Structure formats: C-alpha cells, structure tokens
Structure 1
Amino acid sequence: MTAEQSDLAWMHQAFIDVQTELSFKIQRANSSIGHSGAKGAVNEEHWLEIFRAYLPNRYEVASAFVIDSLGGRSHQIDLVVYDRHYTPTLLDQQSHRYVPAEAVYAVFECKPHLDKAYLQYAGEKAASVRRLHRTSVAITHAGGAYSPRAPFPIVAGILTARSSWADGIDDTFINHLPTEADELLDCGCALNDGAFDRFEGELKVRGADGALIHFLFRLLGKLQSLGTVTAIDWSAYASILDATKEEP
C-alpha cells in the first residue's frame, strides 16, 4: 500500500467511524427510551449535532416553524437549514423558533426508518414550507444596486437510521417517493442502508458504506450551488402590523 493509499484508508475509516457512532447513538435511544415523543426528540438532536458539526458557520440549523410576510406558517420542521448571517429568527419562545421563509435553504424530517408513511409525511412537511410566500428586494452596493433575484427552490429531505424495506434503498423505496412537485424529496440518508439525492436531476443512490459522509458532502455541494438567500423585504413583515390594526 502506498502512502497515499494509506492516507485515504485512514480518512475512509474515520468517515465510517462517524457514521457508526451516530447509528449507535440512535439505536441506544430507540432501545432505552420508551416514550415515542422523547425518543424522537433525542434522535432529532443527534442529527442536529451532526449538521452543526459539518455545515459551515454561515448556516444555522434548528428545529423550527417557517413563516412568511402574509401570515403563513409551516408545520413544525425537525431540521431547518437557514441563513444565520443576514437573517434573524423571529418571535422565538424557548424551544419554539420561527424562521422567515426567505432565509431557508433546506428542510429535513428525522424519522426512525424509511417507509411509505414517513416518506409521505416528510413530503407534506416540505410542501408546507415550499408553499409559503418569499419576498426579494434589490441589494444596494457601491456602484448601484443588484436587481431582486428569484428565490431558489428549497431543498427537502429525510433522515433515518434504516430502511424498512428488505431491498434497502432500491426499487421499492424509489416507487414510494412522493411525486407531487411541492412534496418532492431531494435527498436523504438511512444510516444502515445508504443515501440518495437527485441534485443533478437523476436519482443517485449510495450504499451503506460511507453513506453519511457521502450524503453530507453532496448536501454541502448543493448548498454551495444555491449561493446566498434573497434579500428580505422587511417592509412586508412590518405591514403585518397595519394589516391587523383595527379601524378606529
């Protein structure tokens, strides 16, 4: 084995160790916690820790509701990836965080396994975010102003420990993916069975070996390609106060 091969083997094993550790934590939570709500919260926190460790600091990750300037609100989302540099969260109360729709890059549901019901559920959660209104205004710079740009499509996915199908992430899984435009799942990871994404249009599936890191690196590439979120029209949010004010 050459020195280069040795280095690659070490790095490969290190990536596998991260996946093994996360899988163990989730398995331990599932076997030791009886209450399904508490179990789900612990598993969700493990995924949040992984995302916070591997995503650059320009991204914030949290469980949150997504809101818009028309008064719309999404379902509660297990894991929201949003801009942390330009966009404050709004109306935060203890564990309830509210993120403006314009700030959102991606949304994920954290579930115990992949099956038809959870795929449909994740799709419905994604749709509740994608259907919200997003504003966009011009950005002023020293030489003038950049025109408002159209918001990019919000990425949606699902995170699990395993697949419930005997063939893992294969034909049966693919046949049960949501097909409605707002409910499409762009990516996902089932730690013990593999990962998938359709970032380049065609569905790509990765086996269990290195699935977690493969998924994270592919997601990083996708987030990088999206650039920066649009500039929010804060006056639209301010107008909520006038819209709800009673006539004298």
Structure 2
Amino acid sequence: MNGAADAWMRTAFIDVQAELALKLRRATGSINHPGVKGAVNEEHWIDILRAYLPNRYQVDTAIIIDHLGGRSDQMDVVVYDRQYTPTLLDQKSHRYVPAEAVYAVFECKPHIDKAYLTYAGEKAASVRRLARTAVPIVHAGGVTPPRPPFPIMAGLLAAKAEWSDGLGQAFRSHLPTGDGQLDCGCALDHGGFDTHDGTLLVFGPEAGLIRFLFRLLGRLQSLGTVSAIDWNAYAASLDVPVIGAAS
C-alpha cells in the first residue's frame, strides 16, 4: 500500500475512533442514571463491533449458560455464533447464550483502572468456568469427530485509562491471570492491548480502535468455528420424565 492510501485509511479510522469517543463522552456527561449510562455506552461499543465483525459473529448483551444449569454474570458484550446455536428465552434485549456458542466476552466501563480490571477478570472467569459440550458433525462427506472447545477470549473496553502513564506499568501489574485473564481490550484515549501466548502487546492511541478491531478479527479467525453443541445434554438437564417409548 502506498503512502497516500495508507494515510487516507489511517485518517478515516481515526475519525471513526473520534466519533466513538465523542459518543461515550456525551453519554457520560449527559446521562445521570448510572444504569442507563452504562447501557448506552455498551450499545455504542456493540454498534462498533457489529459494524466491523463479519455477519457470522453475533454481538449482544447476554448471560451465558451451560447444560448443567450454570450461569455466568450478565456480560456487557458477548461475541457468539448464531448460525448454528440459537439464543434461549429471549426477552427484548435479555437473552441466554449457550456456552458452546461463545467466542469472546467484554466488559464496557468508563475507564480502565485496577478495580475494573479485577471486576472484568471475575466476570470472564464466571464464563470460563461453565461446562461446554461437543458432538460429532455430520456432513455430506461423512462425520467429523467432536472438536474440543477453544479458550473463550475476554477483554475490557473503555474510553480511557486512569493511570498517568496510560496502559503502562501500573496497568500491566494489575492485569488478571488464570481464569480471569483479559486477552485484549481498548482504551480509546490511550490505545489498546492484546495478550497472546503469554506475550502482552500494548499499542498507542493513534488509530488504536481499528488496531484493536483488526487484531480481534485475527484472533477470531484463528479460532475457526465453535464446537457442535450436544442438545441432548441440555434436554437431559430439564429432568422431565419420559412418558413412554415405542417398542
């Protein structure tokens, strides 16, 4: 790509980032009710992800469930498969998503600090602790063995970081580990981060939003397609007696 084309694309995406930042500031400054303010900011992030992720990925607020009756906390943003896995018990914007369908979860907060990193890590762990099933896939060419579920990604989305050095040493020292690990995220005014195979990459604020989105696209692409869900396991969890069976 030549310099002129490169500059044009960078400028265009910087404008998209500036527009999102303005929307987040407007919501923060003009809405007094904390719950409504949070919901509006979540919708702004959801709109961005829906705009830039392929249609195979659905993006919503949701609770994640498993076939054993386990439930996650309410997740601000869930990236999941809708082509092969339906949501359950939808009521307006409230829905349950089977754990097998989930690619990634994100928390949306006004800023990134120690408390919100810890909180986002706890929310991520509530998803990763859920049980996931997998069954063989039957297709025209035969049967493909069950695919082991891949690790669910988790992250944090915000307008800025609260530390004086942005996503610097203090941020790095407070990133959760284990089941609560945060793989990637974005703080519009300070850039973003991406953790992969134990290596943390932090990038600056210029075009930080689109860097985050492109890296998220790459990570999603590397995961492939979700495992085929075992609906019989979900049916068995209902504990409904079988009336009878034909001999």
Taking structure 1 as the reference length, what is the TM-score of the superposition?
A: 0.95
Give me the CA root mean square deviation.
1.5
CA distance in structure 2 between the partners assigned to 1:37 and 1:67 by the alignment: 23
Question: Where does 1:83-98 land on structure 2 (aligned, <5 Å)?
Answer: 83-98=81-96
2:178 aligned with 1:177: no
Q: Where does the alignment leave 5 or more consecutive residues of structure 1 unmatched?
A: none
After superposition, give the CA deviation of every residue in 1:135-165 in whole Å (9 maximum; x if it has no partner). Answer: 0000112332111111000000000000000
Q: Aligned-pair distance for 1:244?
A: 5.6
Q: Aligned-pair distance for 1:236?
A: 0.5
Q: Check whether the contact 1:127–1:182 (CA below 8 A) recurs between aligned residues.
A: yes
Instruction: Give 1:152's aligned amino acid.
Output: F
1:231 match: 228
2:22 match: 24
Q: Check whether the contact 1:65–1:74 (CA below 8 A) recurs between aligned residues.
A: yes
Structure 1 residue corresponding to 2:131, chosen from 113, 133, 143: 133
2:105 match: 107
1:159 match: 157
After superposition, give the CA deviation of every residue in 1:77-124 in whole Å (9 maximum; x if it has no partner). Answer: 000000021111011122211000000000000000001110000001
How many residue pairs are counted as aligned between the two chains? 243
Q: Check whether the contact 1:33–1:39 (CA below 8 A) recurs between aligned residues.
A: yes
Q: Which 4+ residue blocks in structure 1 deviate beyond 3 angstroms?
A: none
After superposition, give the CA deviation of every residue in 1:186-206 in whole Å (9 maximum; x if it has no partner). Answer: 001000001001134310000
Q: Aligned-pair distance for 1:63?
A: 0.1
After superposition, give the CA deviation of every residue in 1:29-48 in whole Å (9 maximum; x if it has no partner). Answer: 11111111111111100000
CA distance in structure 2 between the partners assigned to 1:197 and 1:213 by the alignment: 13
Q: Check whether the contact 1:199–1:222 (CA below 8 A) recurs between aligned residues.
A: no
Q: Where does the alignment leave 5 or more consecutive residues of structure 2 unmatched?
A: 243-247
CA distance in structure 2 between the partners assigned to 1:156 and 1:107 by the alignment: 5
Question: What secondary structure does 1:85 align onto?
Answer: coil
CA distance in structure 1 between the partners assigned to 2:77 and 2:240 by the alignment: 31
CA distance in structure 2 between the partners assigned to 1:36 and 1:235 by the alignment: 41
After superposition, give the CA deviation of every residue in 1:51-75 in whole Å (9 maximum; x if it has no partner). Answer: 0000000000000000010101100
Instruction: Give 2:224's aligned amino acid.
Output: G
Taking structure 2 as the reference length, what is the TM-score of the superposition?
A: 0.95
1:38 match: 36
Instruction: Give 1:37's aligned amino acid.
Output: G
